[in-house]
Structure 1
Amino acid sequence: MNDYNFGKYLSIYFLRYIPSKMDYSENTVKAYRDTFTIFLRYCTEVLNLKPEKLTLKEINKDLIETFLNWLIDEKRYSVRTRNQRLAAFHSYFRFLQTEVPEYLDVCNSVFSIKAKKVSNIEQMTYLSIDAIRKLLDAPNRKTIRGKRDLAILTLLYDTGARVQEIIDLKASDLRLSSPATVTLIGKGQKVRVIPITAQTVAIMESYLDSYQLSNEKSVTTPIFFNKQHKKLSRAGITYILKKHYEAARKDNPDLFPSKISPHALRHSKAMHLLEANVNLIYIRDFLGHASISTTEVYAKANPEIKRKAIETASKNILPEEVLSEDKKESLLNWLKEFI
C-alpha cells in the first residue's frame, strides 16, 4: 500500500468533490473545513506531525478516535460538536474509498466510529428573562463598539436566529419601519421573515447611525463587521457574547450557567415563547425548524412547563380539600408534636 500524501487528497476533496455535492450547504462546508483545520493543528501542536508530511497511512481509525477524544477531554467540546467533527471525517473517507480503493479497509474502519448519543435536554443551555436583561445591560451603549455588540446580542435573542443567520445578514434584510422585520436565510436557503420589537428597532437604529449605515444599502453590505470591514465570523460573535456574559455573570453569578454559546440565546427565546403559552407550531416556524419534533424538545426540557402541566392535570383528578380551618390547625399542632 503506497503512502499517499494526505494534503493532496484533502485538496481534491474540497476543490473537486465537495463542489459536486449539491446537497452540501455553505454552513456544512465551513464546518468540514474547520474540522480539518483543527485536526491539522492537533497533529502539529500535540503530535508534532507536520501537515505537509502526513500520509494517508497515518490517518487511520486510531488517530481519528484519539483526536475526537482530545476534543472532549482537553478542549471541552460538547458531544454534539464531536459528532459534527466525526461527520466531516466520514464524508472525507466516503470520497477516499472511491478515489483510492486500496484504502477501502481503512475507510471501513473509520466508518465504524460511531456518533455518541446526545441528550437534547441535557445539552440545552438557556437563560432566564432576568439573565437576558443583565446580559443586554452589559455592553457600553455610549461607545460605537458597545452599540454594535448590543445590536448583535439583541438580534440573536429577539429573532431566535442561528449565529450563521446573523453573520450573513445584509443591510437590505432589515426593515425598521412599521411593521419592523428582519429577513433570515436559514438551513437549506429557507427564508423566514421575523418581526422585531420596538426596543430592538431603537437599538438597531442607534447602531446604524453610529456606523453611518443604512438599511437601504446594497444587498452586499454586511450589517455586522470587524475592523477590516469584513463580516464577523462565528468565533468573533462567540467572543463578543462571552465578553459581555462574563461581565454580567461576575455581578450576578447565580443567574448564569457556567458556560454560554450564541445558540443559548436561541434556546432562551424559544423557552420564553413557550412559557408565554405561544403554540409550538408558531415557535417551530419562528425558529425555522423543519419538524415539530425538534421544537418539542423545548417543552420536554423546561421544568416550569412540566410543573404547570402536572398542576393542570391534578386539578381535574385530585379531590378538593374538605378540612375546615379548625381541623387544619389541629392537624398542624399534631404534626409539630410528633415530627
Structure 2
Amino acid sequence: MSLEISPGARDALSAWVDHMRALDGAADNTLTAYARDVTTFLAFQAGHRGGPMGLTQIGAIRTPDMRAWMADQRLRGTGPRSVARHLSAVKSFIRWLSEREGFDPTAVLSTRAPKFRKPLPRPVSQGAAKDLIATVGLQSETPWIAARDVAVVTVLYGCGLRISESLGLTGGDAPLADVLRIRGKGGKERIVPVLPAARDAVNRYVAACPFDLEIDGPLFRGARGGPLNGRIVAGVMARARMQLGLPSSATPHALRHSFATHLLEAGGDLRSIQELLGHASLSTTQAYTAVDQVHLMETYARAHPHGR
C-alpha cells in the first residue's frame, strides 16, 4: 500500500479520520470502515492512473477516473448499497481535503451513487396466508378480539389494503359492500372488490364487538374501545408466524404483497392489479411481483399488446 499512496496522502487520511472523530463522534468501527473505503478507492486510482496517489494526484481526479472506479465496483459485484456507502466516504474525504489543499472537488462530488430499491416484504404462499389467518384467531382468549384480529388480517390479504387503509375503515363501512372506496396515498381514491371471506370475517367481528361502532368512528377497536393501533396487529402477526415457523418477513404489509403476487400468478392483468393496489406507476406494481420472469413478461405483454 505504501507504493500506492504517498506519505502525505496517508497523513491527510489520518487527519481526516481524526477530524471525523472529533466532529461527529463516530464509532471506531465506523471510522475504520470509512478509512478502508477511502484507502481502497485511492489504491484503485493508483493502479488506474499508473502511479502512487499523492495530494497533487488526488486533486487531479476527474470524471473519467470516477467512472472507471464505479465500473470496477460493478464488475466486482459490489451491491448498490455498498457502492453508495463507499462513495459517501470518498466524497467526505475529498470535500475535506479540497478545503485544506484548495483544489476543485467537483468531479468527485458530482458522481452519483447507483439507485437501489428498498427491499420489499417477501410474499407468503396462499397456504401460509390461510394458516396465518387461522392462527391469528388463536392469539387472544377474548372472543371479540380474536374475531377482530381475524377480520383485520383477512381484509389486508383479501383486499390488498395497506394497514393504515384497513384501520381507516369506519363503522359506516360495515357491513362491507361488494366494493370498498379506499382513499390511499396522496388522497387518491380507488375501488377495491370485497371477497366474501373478508365480508364474513368483518360481520363476525361486528356482531361480537362490545362497543358501539359509530358511522364516523373507527371500525376496528382496541381493547378499551379506542382506535386499533397498527402495532397491535403487527404483534399478533408476529406471534402467529412464530407458531407456524414462518420467517420474520411475514408481516401485515407482506399480506398486501402476497395479494398482488397471487393475483399475478393466477393470470391477473398488471394494469388491473395496479389499480387495485393504488399504485401511481406500473413499475411499482411490477416490483411487488415475485413470480418467475417468463410469467411476468407474458402478463406484461397482455397488458401492453402494442408493445409486442
Q: Which amino acid aligns with 2:198?
A: T
SS in 1 for 2:288: helix
Residue of structure 1 in register with 2:261 after alignment:
271
DSSP 3-state at the match of 1:194:
strand
Whether 1:288 aligns to 2:294 is: no
- 1:222 correspondence with 2:218: yes
C-alpha deviations, 1:153-209, integer Å up to 9, x for none?
A: 1011111111111121111134535xx233322111222231111122111111110
Q: 1:236 aligns with which of 232, 236, 245?
A: 232
Is the 8 Å Cα contact of residues 162 and 263 (structure 1) preserved in structure 2?
yes
Q: Whole-Å Cα distance in 2 between the matches of residues 171 and 61 of structure 1? A: 54
Distance 1:234 1:288 in 2: 20
**In structure 2, do the counterparts of structure 1 residues 145 and 115 end up closer, same or farther at CA, with 3 Å as the change threshold?**
farther
User: Do structure 1's residue 260 and structure 2's residue 250 form an aligned pair?
Assistant: yes
Task: Give the distance between the partners of 1:117 and 1:233, measured in 2 at CA.
Answer: 34
Distance (Å, rounded) in 1 between the aligned partners of 2:286 and 2:272: 12
Q: Distance in 1 between matches of 2:188 and 2:151?
A: 24
TM value normalised by structure 1:
0.50
Structure 2 residue identity aligned to 1:235: R
Q: How far has the Cα of 1:61 moved from its partner?
A: 8.5
Measured at CA, do residues 307 and 239 of structure 1 come closer, stay the same or move farther in structure 2, by a change above 3 Å? same
Partner of 1:182: 180
1: CA distance between counterparts of 2:113 and 2:174?
A: 39
Q: State how far apart, in whole Å, the 2-side matches of 1:62 and 1:295 are.
A: 40
* Rounded Cα–Cα distance in structure 2 between residues aligned with 1:286 and 1:200: 16
- Classify 1:210/1:274 alpha carbon distance in 2 versus 1 (closer, same or farther; 3 Å): same
CA distance in 1, matches of 2:116, 2:288: 15
Amino acid at match of 2:191: V
* Cα distance per residue 1:129-165 (max 9 Å; x no partner): 0110111110337822211110011011111111111
Select which of 289, 292, 302 maps to 1:305.
Answer: 292
- Summarize deviations over 1:270-329 as a string: whole Å, max 9, x none: 000110111111001100011111112134xx2x432546899xxxxxxxxxxxxxxxxx
The DSSP-based 3-state class of the residue aligned with 1:123 is coil
Amino acid at match of 1:202: D
Does 2:197 align with 1:199? Answer: yes
In 1: Cα distance, 2:168 partner to 2:124 partner: 25
Give the alignment partner of residue 241 of structure 2, picking from 242, 245, 250.
245
- Paired residue secondary structure (2:137): coil
Question: Out of 189, 202, 206, which is 1:208 matched to?
Answer: 206
Rounded to whole Å, the distance in 2 between the matches of 1:61 and 1:210 is 59
**CA spacing shift, 1:229–1:310, aligned 2, 3 Å:** closer
Deviation digits for residues 214-258 of structure 1 (CA, Å, limit 9, x no counterpart) = 8xx533221112122111222222112212222222xxxxxx334
Classify 1:119/1:277 alpha carbon distance in 2 versus 1 (closer, same or farther; 3 Å).
same
Name which one, 1 or 2, has greater alpha-carbon Rg: 2
Which structure 2 residues correspond to residues 157-172 of structure 1 after superposition, within 5 A? Answer: 157-172=157-172
One-letter amino acid matched to 1:221: G
Provide Cα deviations, 1:70-124, integer angstroms capped at 9, x if missing partner: xxxxxxxxx99xxxxxxxxxxxxxxxxxxxxxxxxxxxxxxx9x9995435x533
Quick check: 2:156–2:163 contact (8 Å CA) kept in 1?
yes
For residue 183 of structure 1, give the secondary structure of its aligned residue in structure 2: strand
- Structure 2 unaligned runs (5+)? 1-21, 31-79, 82-109, 300-308
Structure 1 unmatched runs, 5+: 1-59, 70-78, 81-111, 250-255, 313-339
User: TM-score, with normalisation over the residues of structure 2?
Assistant: 0.55
Q: Cα distance 1:212–1:182, how it changes in 2: closer, same or farther (>3 A)?
A: farther
Q: d(CA) in 2 for partners of 1:176 and 1:285?
A: 20
User: C-alpha distance in 1, partners of 2:222/2:194?
Assistant: 24
Give me the whole-angstrom Cα distance separating, in 2, the residues matched to 1:183 and 1:174. Answer: 13
> Is 2:164–2:230's contact at 8 Å kept on the other side of the alignment?
yes
| Aligned twin of 1:150 | 150
The CA RMSD measured in Å over matched residues stands at 3.4
- Of 62, 84, 109, 2:24 maps to 62
Give the 3-state SS of the residue equivalent to 2:215 in structure 1.
Answer: coil
Matches for 1:91-106 after TM superposition, within 5 Å = none
Letter in 2 for 1:163: I
